Structures are given as C-alpha cells and as structure tokens.
Amino acid sequence: MTTDLLAWQIPPVEKVIRTVVVYLGIALIVRLAGKRLMAQMNSLDLVVVLLLSNVVQNAIIGDDNSLSGGLLGAAVLVAFNALLERLADTVPWVRWLLEGRPTELIHEGVVDEAALRRLGITELELLNAIHSQGADHTSEVLRARVEPGGNVTVLLKRADQAASYGDLQQAVATLQSSLDELQEGLERQSSGKSPST
C-alpha cells in the first residue's frame, strides 16, 4: 500500500510540464478576463473560480493519484509562481505581461466612459470606489485609475483633500506667526504714543 502512495503513475517530467502549462494557461485566462475580475469577486465569480480549479485538476494530475505526484505538482506550482514573481520584480516587461498597466478612469474630474466600458465597470461602481476614498463627486477627483491588481486608486484635487496633521500644524504655525507680528506691531504702536494729559 505504501508503495502505491509513493509510486509515480506518470513520469515526473510530464507532471512538471503539465503543471507549468496549466499555470500559464490560467494566468493567461485571468489576464484576459481583465482587472475587474481581480477587483471584486461576486458570488458568480467565486463559482467560476471553484469550478475552474476542479476543471484544471485533471489536466495537472493526469492519471496520477499518488501522494508523490500530488506533492510534486504542489511544489512545482509554488516554485514556478515564486520564479515568475521574482522575474516580474526585476524585469519590467515581465510585470507588464503578467499584470498589465494601470487604466485611468478619471482625469481632472472627467470620467473616461470608454475605459469604463472596456473594463466592464459601471458608473455606480466607480462612484462607490471614489466615495470610499473621500470624494463626493467626480469633479473632486484629480485622477482615478484601476491598478493591475484591480484596486481603484483615487487622487483628490488639492482643495478637496482632507487636511493632514502636518497641514494643520503648518496652518497653526502660520496663524501664530501672523498673530505674533500683529501683537508686535500693536506693542510698537502703543509704546510710540505718549500718554496724553
């Protein structure tokens, strides 16, 4: 029985090739599916992911149900993923190939309707994304874009940005300086006047 668990039912080289090819195929499918799939998975997307994992399972394992075959497949998946991540970190075109580039949705308060259609993002979803990052209306947004991982990043126009602690400290320092100058001026003015008798 132990020998059945550890015996290779298909050659290890075939297992490695199957695993790498399936990995690349799934990466291509996810890349073609677009950033929207990465950003927000609804219940139907979850069903697709679960079914997809079941569909490709047989492509990876083939006729091999051995423990050693499963462990080899898992090790190849983890190692190949780590290799691609390292390559993507050091070679810009690999990162672009695997993840793509950001897509601008709003520029200077103007929504790029064509980009929304291309990504399958509704205006309501865009409004929800900018609301969650502090904007009440698209006119307050300097730039909003969908990152390769599917997250929406929003940069508000300066006038619409919330004040930071540093901004408040700077404002208080400026006010204090103005008050000090005003007080000095008043003191000079009052000391320059002689009391009238």
Q: What is the DSSP string of 7-44?
A: S-SS-HHHHHHHHHHHHHHHHHHHHHH-HHHHH---HH
Q: What is the DSSP string of 138-158?
A: GGGEEEEEE-TTS-EEEEE-G
Helix (H, G, I), strand (E, B) or coil at 105: strand
Question: 99, 118, 138: which is the final residue of a domain?
Answer: 99
CA triple 58-99-138, angle to 5 deg: 125
Q: pLDDT at position 185, please?
A: 86
Same structural domain, 24 and 71: yes
**CATH code assigned at 145:** 3.30.240.20
User: Does residue 11 carry a pLDDT above 50?
Assistant: yes
Provide the number of structural domains found in the chain. Answer: 2
Residue 81 falls inside a structural domain:
yes
Measured CA to CA, the distance from residue 16 to residue 18 in angstroms comes to 6
22: pLDDT confidence band, cut at 50, 70 and 90? very high
Same structural domain, 94 and 107: no
Q: pLDDT at position 78, please?
A: 94
Residue 15 falls inside a structural domain:
yes
Q: Provide mean pLDDT across the span 41-53.
A: 79
Residue 129 falls inside a structural domain:
yes
Q: pLDDT at position 9, please?
A: 80
Contact assessment for residue 26 and residue 60, using Cβ atoms and an 8 Å cutoff? no
The amino acid at 105:
L
Residue 41 falls inside a structural domain:
yes
8: pLDDT confidence band, cut at 50, 70 and 90? confident
For the stretch 107-116, pLDDT in tens is 999 999 999 8
Q: pLDDT at position 77, please?
A: 92
Same structural domain, 48 and 86: yes
Measured CA to CA, the distance from residue 107 to residue 109 in angstroms comes to 5
Same structural domain, 107 and 89: no
For the stretch 120-138, pLDDT in tens is 888 888 898 888 888 888 8
Question: What is the pTM assigned to this prediction?
Answer: 0.63
For the stretch 54-82, pLDDT in tens is 888 888 888 888 888 888 989 999 999 99
197: pLDDT confidence band, cut at 50, 70 and 90? very low
Same structural domain, 95 and 110: no
For the stretch 136-178, pLDDT in tens is 888 889 999 988 877 888 888 866 666 677 778 888 889 898 8
Residue 27 falls inside a structural domain:
yes
Residue 147 falls inside a structural domain:
yes
Measured CA to CA, the distance from residue 156 to residue 174 in angstroms comes to 24
Residue 125 falls inside a structural domain:
yes
Same structural domain, 18 and 48: yes
Contact assessment for residue 119 and residue 34, using Cβ atoms and an 8 Å cutoff? yes
Same structural domain, 10 and 88: yes
Same structural domain, 68 and 25: yes
Same structural domain, 110 and 145: yes
Same structural domain, 25 and 90: yes
Residue 82 falls inside a structural domain:
yes
- Could you tell me the residue range of the domain that residue 137 belongs to? 103-160
